[in-house]
Amino acid sequence: MSDESQELPVFTTAADMRAWVRKQKKSGRKVALVPTMGYLHDGHLSLVKAALERADVVVASIYVNPTQFAAHEDFDVYPRNPDDDRAKLKAAGAHAVFEPESLYVAVPGAGEGSNVVGRETQHPDSHETYVTVERLQKPLCGGSRPHFFRGVCTVVTKLFHICEPDVAVFGRKDYQQWRVISRMVRDLDFAVEVVGLPICREQDGLAMSSRNARLSEEARQKALAISRGLKWAEAGVADGSLGAPEAVKEHVRGLIEEAGGKVDYVELLNADNLGPIADLASQPALLAVAAHFAAKDRGTVRLIDNTVLTPPGK
């Protein structure tokens, strides 16, 4: 289903996207969806590659979803480059792009963004239906971004209804997001297989992220403290020399703060259910980090990263 000389179809309305997908499915083709917010890097393209291995046609969505951003967050300065994204998706072998202008009902005459002012519904005629995964959304990113997973689950639900994928591919850089979406799919009987893929890193260890483009060169170097901390913990747990969660968290936090980062969280949780853990020897533990580093324009850039610490023999 790939023809180099063909234009990559780009759909901007839900109706057109759905019609195209249904045509594919009617021809017996299996459909994979790769949801993204654009400004694509090799991490995203690894998801497209994996999707191609699992389905006959691959749709990538590009949409910076307003409902997962709080009013004070970086929605307005989130990096965007749709032309470059389309070229990368075509080269990677994707078959279609879903690039909606908005997925929320705009209320005529109610002003720009009336549907998502402060990333909340403001107008009585606007969007008011949200999907929430109650417990799994609470720790980690849910602590500092309490609105975040409600926005993610809602928009992913909409993308699933529009693109009707058989398979949906996510990255484990957003580990909690992958767990939350998997739970939503299980609990609400979506007929979608959710796949979570490993983190792609730059050669120096920095997790690839669209937001890296906003880091100053100095901050980018400092941000390497995150992956250094994760690597240190991986090695210590693998050889059995690290066992106490508090000591590990404290050390990783110290590395990031010494480098000039502002820690949002450094947390160790059960890698399966994101519940608390008493030690690092009994089960695989998720070591997850979020930290702010200086942006090259203004403010800070919030980066997330993680690793699963596997004790010997587990």
Ligand X SMILES: Nc1ncnc2c1ncn2[C@@H]1O[C@H](COP(=O)(O)OP(=O)(O)OP(=O)(O)O)[C@@H](O)[C@H]1O
Ligand Y SMILES: CC(C)(CO)[C@@H](O)C(=O)[O-]
Which residues are the active-site residues? 44
- Select the span of 100-108, 130-138, 165-173, 276-284 touching ligand X (CB under 6 A): 165-173
**Rounded-to-integer distance, Cα 73 and Cα 12, Å:** 25
47 binds ligand X (CB under 6 A): yes
Q: Considering only residues 174-213, where is the footprint of ligand X by CB under 6 A?
A: 174, 197, 199-200, 207-211
Total count of residues recorded for the chain = 314
CB of 240 to ligand X, least distance (A): 29
68 binds ligand BAL (CB under 6 A): yes
Contact characters 21-60, ligand BAL, x per CB under 6 A: ----------------x-----------------------
Q: Please give the structure tokens belonging to residue 69.
A: 């951003």
**Residues 248, 250, 254: CA angle, nearest 5 degrees:** 120
CB of 65 to ligand BAL, least distance (A): 7
In the complex with ligand Y, the residue whose CB is nearer, 161 or 231, is 161
CB of 305 to ligand X, least distance (A): 9
In the complex with ligand BAL, the residue whose CB is nearer, 64 or 281, is 64
**Rounded-to-integer distance, Cα 222 and Cα 205, Å:** 12
CB of 15 to ligand Y, least distance (A): 20
**Rounded-to-integer distance, Cα 245 and Cα 268, Å:** 7
CB of 246 to ligand X, least distance (A): 28
**Rounded-to-integer distance, Cα 34 and Cα 219, Å:** 30
Q: Considering only residues 119-158, where is the footprint of ligand X by CB under 6 A?
A: none
Q: Which does 33 bind (CB under 5 to 8 A by kind): ligand BAL, ligand Y, ligand X, none?
A: none
In the complex with ligand Y, the residue whose CB is nearer, 225 or 305, is 305
**Rounded-to-integer distance, Cα 109 and Cα 123, Å:** 11
Q: Residue 100: which of 51, 158, 53, 44 has the closest Cα?
A: 158
Burial 93-123 (b: 16+ CB within 10 A, else e): bbbbbbbbeebbebbeeeeeebbbbebbbeb
67 binds ligand X (CB under 6 A): no
**Rounded-to-integer distance, Cα 61 and Cα 11, Å:** 9
In the complex with ligand Y, the residue whose CB is nearer, 156 or 269, is 156
Residue nearest ligand X by beta-carbon distance: 171
Residue in the structure block whose two tokens are 């399966």: 272
In the complex with ligand X, the residue whose CB is nearer, 11 or 175, is 175
Q: What is the 3-state secondary structure (H, E, C) of 181-244?
A: HHHHHHHCCCCCEEEEECCCECCCCCECCHHHHHECHHHHHHCHHHHHHHHHHHHHHHCCCCCC
Residue in the structure block whose two tokens are 């179809």: 9
Amino acid (one-letter) located at 96: A
In the complex with ligand BAL, the residue whose CB is nearer, 37 or 268, is 37
Contacts with ligand Y by CB under 6 A lie at: 35-37, 65, 68, 152, 155-156, 174, 177
Write out the residues near ligand BAL by the rule CB under 6 A. Answer: 37, 68, 174
Write out the residues near ligand X by the rule CB under 6 A. Answer: 36-37, 43-44, 46-47, 170-171, 173-174, 197, 199-200, 207-211
